Structure 1
Amino acid sequence: MNISKRFMSICAVVGALALNANLAGAQTPAFFRIGTGGTAGTYYPIGGLIANAISGGGQKGVAGLVSTAVASNGSVANINAIQGGSMESGFTQSDVAYWAHSGTGLYEGKGKVDDLRLIATLYPETIHLVARKDAGIKSVADLKGKRVSIDEPGSGTIVDARIVLGAYGLKETDIKAEHLKPGPAGDRLRDGGLDAYFFVGGYPTGAISELATSSGISLVPITGPEVDKLIKDYTFFSKDTVPANTYKDVAETPTISVAAQWVTSSKQPDELVYNITKVMWSDATRAALDAGHAKGKMITLQNATTSLGIPLHPGAERFYREAGVLK
């Protein structure tokens, strides 16, 4: 074989190898995990609906994408996982996202999570203060000396519970604090081992609904001049109301809320996040959210770019500009 033929043969082999490598690369799925919360809360089922919607296959989803919802300890744990690379994305409360990105509040002295980026604001997250019916708790001030679960360290709920207590002149040492997720907290409440617990999440949430039906509960109002001052001091809070009979035999209850947000890292490719965001707001995803969870109907394109305490991911921002919700 002369030199020119040998060179052409080598080129053909190299070309074939490169083509095979490209095909193999194209067939390798991209994984996009969504850190959620405890399985009894709202993050987990909503995360499952979104993960299923954006996963590729057939006529739906992002081609070549495999997405799963992963149970976790909530907002702070999800941001830590994104920062550490063990999660591609996660749900968080808007207050926790702001603190992380700015290095303030909960993240004071811990450094900024500079690369935290927003995919979408999802829905209001209501602060529930659930009490036993016979516990005699009519206001936050009545929690003094009571057995109260404020959720686990690493959750957004624990941060907000401390803020709410402080607004009413209470410290954590003024209550008999427990650190339970809403499922176990509900069990303890039912058994008489707990007087009340905090939970931040979209209503109705399964664990509280089940508890209200099986044992009966009261929702403690979070309202009054203390709340007016709290909202002035912490602008990521807003007034909210749990409608009557959202939970069995529970009257309309004034409270406050933050926003649930879906966040990721700026390290995630722009094109991938653009495609994910586009599928997130497709008609098929809309139908799945509406049918899949009571909170799904509150997840709207119009609200997706509200509560912008952190920057949008460039891929998401591109979609929102194309969709006309950002100018």
Structure 2
Amino acid sequence: MTGAVRRRAFLGGLLLLPLAACGASPRPVLRLATGENGGFYSEFGRLLGAASGGRERGIDPVATGGSRENVELVARGAAAVGLAMTDVVRDARAGTPPFERPLDLLALGRVYENYLQLAVRADSPVTGLADLAGRPVSLGSSGSGAALAGARLFAVAEVGVQARQLSLAEATAALADGRIEAMMWSGGLPTPAVDALAKRVPIRLLPLADHIGTLRLIVGAGLYTAGVIPSGVYGSTGPVVTIGVPNLLVSSSELTDDDAAAIARLLVERAHELTPVSALGTQYLDQPSLIDTVGVPMHPGAAAAYREMHG
């Protein structure tokens, strides 16, 4: 057996896991790296896993720390597919810090818009980034894309904070009891864990869009856009303009063309089942948007499936 064949066989054993079902014979499933419990990645992954039921290959969502961890899991074959912010995927493919080398990543589709969100307690005197100078701020878990984007945002704003890397659960608890001044995360609208926090402790989102132009100079066009968080989200009394980042479903080149094509068809054919009922904001589960992967190459199997469905 050649080295390449041995490697593919080894990765195949990681990507495909047997899933037993109530007396039925186990069927292989594809592991999907999602995100933290209480986050939008987790919600989307759960719906995608449910929609795959009854198909030849199921999808098994697995909780993770977020985008950065997900691309690393996919690249080393510990997950077949993963959800990740596009800026993280592009950094990982290029091997730019914090990634030590280029990672093997391909897009299966652009699935929805992530919103970079920065919250303080409603009674906080903080009204903008500059007011957070020297204060304790959670930028997100160490495995998240928010932590990378948050560090980049404060750097371009030239605001130094006492940065913490807390999980979503840790950050909501710390903000509630005043151990941190603000918490940053990235996700869809509303993010379930933060929505639950806002029902207990009034919070307020800070506007972030003033720094989009500088961020684009660093990462390139097409990644960061102005995103409006509607009035009423987390109890807000008016809309807040923040930073939107497209979110991708990715795999490595080791994913077979057949499996990539099956996932692409699932995204198109079952789109109505893949958006949480509470979700607001931009969703990309239509074919023209799914194939707009912002410069990240599409997996050939997924590309073929989209062409076939388009006719």
TM-score surpassing 0.5?
A: yes
Match of 2:273 in 1: 288
Match of 1:54 in 2: 52
The 2-side partners of 1:293 and 1:266 are apart by 34
Aligned residues of 2:267 and 2:285 also touching (Cα < 8 A):
no
Aligned residues of 1:120 and 1:261 also touching (Cα < 8 A):
yes
Q: By how many angstroms is 1:293 displaced?
A: 4.8
Q: How many pairs align?
A: 284
After alignment, is 65-74 or 233-242 more displaced?
233-242
Compute the TM-score of the two structures, normalised by the length of structure 2: 0.86
Aligned residues of 2:106 and 2:299 also touching (Cα < 8 A):
yes
Q: By how many angstroms is 1:79 displaced?
A: 1.2
Match of 2:27 in 1: 29
Larger CA Rg, structure 1 vs 2: 1
Quick one: which of 285, 290, 311 aligns to 1:304? 290
Q: Residues 112-261 of structure 1: matches in 2 within 5 Å?
A: 112-113=102-103, 115-170=104-159, 174-224=160-210, 226-234=211-219, 235=221, 236-261=223-248
Secondary structure of the residue aligned to 2:180 is coil
Q: By how many angstroms is 1:134 displaced?
A: 2.3
CA deviations 1:142-198 (Å, max 9, x no partner) are 11011110112221111100111012112xxx3122211222211111111111011
Specify which structure has the higher proportion of helix: 1
Secondary structure of the residue aligned to 1:95 is helix
Aligned residues of 1:46 and 1:293 also touching (Cα < 8 A):
no
Match of 1:111 in 2: 101
Counterparts in 2 of 1:208 and 1:244: CA distance versus 1, 3 Å: same
Secondary structure of the residue aligned to 1:255 is strand
Task: Give identity over the alignment, percent.
Answer: 27
Runs of 4+ in 1 over 4 A off after TM superposition: 290-293
Counterparts in 2 of 1:144 and 1:297: CA distance versus 1, 3 Å: closer
For structure 1, which runs of at least 5 residues remain unmatched after alignment?
1-26
Q: By how many angstroms is 1:53 displaced?
A: 0.9
Q: By how many angstroms is 1:294 displaced?
A: 1.2
Q: By how many angstroms is 1:123 displaced?
A: 0.9
Q: Which amino acid aligns with 1:270?
A: D
Instruction: Please give the root-mean-square deviation of Cα atoms over the aligned residues, in Å.
Output: 1.9
Compute the TM-score of the two structures, normalised by the length of structure 1: 0.82
Aligned residues of 1:45 and 1:293 also touching (Cα < 8 A):
no
Quick one: which of 37, 49, 74 aligns to 2:66? 74
Q: By how many angstroms is 1:298 displaced?
A: 1.4
Secondary structure of the residue aligned to 1:247 is helix
Counterparts in 2 of 1:77 and 1:211: CA distance versus 1, 3 Å: same
Q: Which amino acid aligns with 1:36?
A: T
For structure 2, which runs of at least 5 residues remain unmatched after alignment?
1-24
The 1-side partners of 2:180 and 2:133 are apart by 13
Counterparts in 2 of 1:80 and 1:290: CA distance versus 1, 3 Å: closer
